[in-house]
Amino acid sequence: MTFYTYVESPIGRLLLGGDDEGLTRLHFSSGSKAQGPDPAWVESAEPFAEVTRQLSEYFAGQRRDFTVKLRPAGTPFQLAVWEALCRIPYGETTSYGALAKDLGRPDAARAVGMANGSNPIAIIQPCHRVIGASGKLTGFGGGLPLKQALLELERGERRLF
């Protein structure tokens, strides 16, 4: 059974989804990748108490690493990219090409970008830390201003609470 809840945050309402095995999604309620719950899902905040607490700590600048159990669904390549996202240090960025090289696929920067763009667990699998080779911000499901705000939060340049 899939559960969901909405949590309010300083960057807007977030949709959390998951099951007994872990968090399967964290989506923005606005932006190009905004999603809502499937009609078959059951609304319940209880399964998400820990992730909600950790997100609050993150937005307050008190948490750098998340310890909630994740269970994203994707291809083996997507899963490898999403795992690699979690290894990008807090407050740092990398490029799609550098991430592809780290995965042993130096010619797969475009594929890394596609996998990054389909990341089902935003913020916790920190796709916002991936930028273009030129150092410019590139696409983000929550919008580029939100990506910039998250990066500034992590560099200690902005408070969200």
Active-site residues: which are they? 127
Q: Which helix (H) or strand (E) holds 5?
A: strand 3-7
CA distance 139 to 115: 12
Q: State the helix-helix crossing angle for 76-85 and 109-117, rounded to 10 degrees.
A: 80
CA distance 88 to 16: 22
CA distance 82 to 115: 8
3 state SS of 95: strand
Helix ranges (DSSP H) in 19-143: 49-59, 76-85, 96-102, 109-117
